[in-house]
Amino acid sequence: MNHKLILAYTGSEAVPFVKVGGLGDVLGALPKEMARRGHETHLFLPLYQQIDREKYKIRPWTNGHSFPVALGPRIYSFSLWVFRDESLPNLTVWFIENHHFFNRPGPYLDLHGNPYGDEGERWLYFQKAVLEGMKLLQVYPDILHVNDFHTALIPALKQHLYQPFFQNTRTVLTLHNVLFHGVYDLALLPYTDLPENLAFPAAPLEFYGKINFLKAGLAYADLVNTVSPRYAQELLHIPGFSYGLHGMMNSISHKFSGILNGADYDYWNPETDPHLTHHYSPTKMSGKWQNRQQLLEEAHLSANENTMVLGIVARMTEQKGFQLMLESWSELLQMPVVIVMLASGDKRLEHEWSWLAKAFPDKIYLSRSFDEKFAHLIQAGADLFLMPSEFEPCGLSQIYSLKYGTPPLAHATGGLADTISDEPDEKTGYLFKHFTKEGFLWAIEQALADFADKDRWQQIQQNGMKKDFSWYKAAEKYLELYYRALKRKY
């Protein structure tokens, strides 16, 4: 039997404290699952101004004391704050407080929707502070699990600057979205305190004359994984998916794998969901119809039992399929469907969809202000959940929609293809292989045909609700990864 581990996780967001994307869901759930299994678990996050310290009872640990971190000639001090959950005594969440870097309007973007001008310094500082914080706390983990570019430089920093302290620590890097690398000007290199030769041409940190945090993480992490088996294969075999890192991906294929994300069914469960007025289960589905009626009322739409309610909750970008759906609008207009959207993002797309929502108020409702309660109502009240993403490392919304008896329709890519079955006898949703208008509309037509057969539709709903994508299963895979990392020889 494998021994209990000391685990440290770090990243830029985690539910319930702060969430922008799927990374927040993962770091909110995976450490909790490991703590439940008896592993000593630590999570390190930035203490953004948006995090409600009183609500979550986040308390100062260092009693006013601060600790220096150097970025070149400048010193920025941090203090440590702590959160503990009495129901999870093995989990401690540590927050790095620094007003200069984290007391800002948003975790990633300024008020105009732009990345902060000192983004490189900001994430370099956080990574150094995490390592200094672990030294201060005398947390020397068996596994240090870093996530995306925001913390991908830590394995290199550990090896070159902190080896005496973390010589027995192995590092795991998880790629949630390879679109973002953390690429910065070479002027940042001296601030890292790493050897200059790491930024020589073709060296681990160098990327077209700049430095690349994610590339360094790929090179230095003991093991690397991404958030679905299909996405792992796409990164290895489709050059465009890794945005300039295809060669690097293939060079580390021996230590690269895919583990499907889990869903937090404590939070996403139609039987207990606190955001829903009407609860339901696979054996008692009347509540779903009531949620459908409530959704239509709140969206000022009408739809009889033969009109399909399409729902989507996503960032409004081309990657998420909003341009593809725009190109399909004239055909959608002729179909027996209404659409409820909760989305914001790309300003051009927002303008186009806002115009359509005003021009066709009986066909489409758009809310651009994120509302967690409304997001849950869409999952519960829609007939079909749309995820027509061009690519999707894992995706969680389709996993939630399966549990809520709302079959998903998606492009057959990444985790979407790993979690949705369109096999006739085991169908849980709808997949289209080609990212085209024709492919998307074909899938809509397939869904409409099944929707017209109520017995068939109910079976598809039941198939999805029976699926188990819990973190319990995903955690087993991560533990296998951790023990494999500990067995690596050097």
228: domain CATH number? 3.40.50.2000
267 located within any domain: no
- Of 128, 101, 103, the closest CA to residue 117 belongs to 101
Burial class (CB in 10 A: 0-12, 13-18, 19+), 297: exposed
Which one, of 101, 57, 390, lies nearest residue 238 by Cα? 390
In a domain, 271, yes or no: no
pLDDT tens-place string over residues 48-87: 999 999 999 999 998 778 999 999 999 999 999 999 999 9
Query: Rounded to whole angstroms, what are the CA distances from 400 to 131, 270, 378, 387, 469?
Result: 35, 10, 11, 12, 9
- 300 and 184 within one domain: no
Predicted confidence band at 489 (pLDDT cuts at 50, 70, 90)? low
- Does pLDDT of 41 surpass 50? yes
pLDDT band at 298 (very low <50, low <70, confident <90, very high): very high
> Cα-flanking dihedrals φ and ψ of residue 38, to 5°?
95, 5
User: How many structural domains are present in the chain?
Assistant: 2
Same domain, yes or no, for 148 and 53? yes
Q: Are residues 258 and 324 in the same domain?
A: no
Whether residues 200 and 216 share a domain: the answer is yes
Residue 2 reports pLDDT greater than 80: no
Give the tens place of pLDDT for each residue, 79-112. Answer: 999 999 999 999 999 999 999 999 999 999 888 8
Q: Is residue 29 part of a domain?
A: yes
pLDDT of residue 490: 45
Least confidently predicted of 215-219, 274-278, 484-488: 484-488
Strand order in the sheet with 206-207: 183-184, 210-212, 206-207
Side-chain half-sphere exposure of 45, counting CA atoms within 13 A: 26
Burial class of residue 300, CB neighbours in 10 A (0-12, 13-18, 19+): exposed
- 407-458 pLDDT per residue, tens: 999 999 999 999 999 999 999 999 999 999 999 999 999 999 999 999 999 9
346 in a structural domain: yes
Region 309-319: what's the mean pLDDT? 95
Residues 300 and 242 reside in one and the same domain: no
Contacts of 457 (CB under 8 A, 6+ apart): 450, 451
Q: Are residues 131 and 248 in the same domain?
A: yes
Distance of CA 474 to the CA centre of its chain: 14
404 in any annotated domain: yes
- Residue 122: predicted pLDDT: 98
The percentage of the chain sitting over the pLDDT mark of 90, rounded to a whole number, equals 92
- The answer to whether position 330 is within a domain reads yes
Outline where 238-346 has alpha helix (H): 246-251, 286-298, 322-327, 329-333
Residue 181: its pLDDT value, please?
96
Share of the chain above pLDDT 70, in %: 99
What does the pLDDT read at residue 488?
75
Which amino acid belongs to residue 10? Answer: T
Are 337 and 325 in contact, with CB atoms under 8 Å apart? no
94 and 218 in a single domain? The answer is yes
Residues 51 and 195 in one domain: yes
Residue 270 lies in a domain: no
Phi–psi pair at 374, nearest 5 degrees? -70, -35
> What type of residue sits at position 406?
T
Give residue 148's pLDDT. 98
Whether 67 and 54 share a structural domain: yes
258 contacts 231 by C-beta, under 8 angstroms: yes
- For residue 191, the number of C-alpha atoms closer than 13 Å in the C-beta half-sphere is 22
Mean pLDDT of all residues in 453-478: 96
Residue 3 has pLDDT above 90, yes or no: no
Give the residue numbers spanning the domain of 448.
286-467
The verdict on 290 and 226 lying in the same domain is no
- 314 and 333 together in one domain: yes
Residue 109, φ and ψ in degrees, nearest 5: -125, 150
State residue 114's pLDDT score. Answer: 87
CA distances from residue 149 to 65, 180, 215, 295, 455 in whole angstroms, order as listed? 29, 7, 9, 38, 47
Q: Answer yes or no: is 269 within a domain.
A: no
Q: Quick one: 60 and 34 in the same domain?
A: yes
Tokens of residue 104, six digits: 């800002």
Residue 481 has pLDDT above 60, yes or no: yes
The two structure tokens encoding residue 313: 């909750």
Mean pLDDT of 34-44: 97
Residue 113: per-residue pLDDT: 81
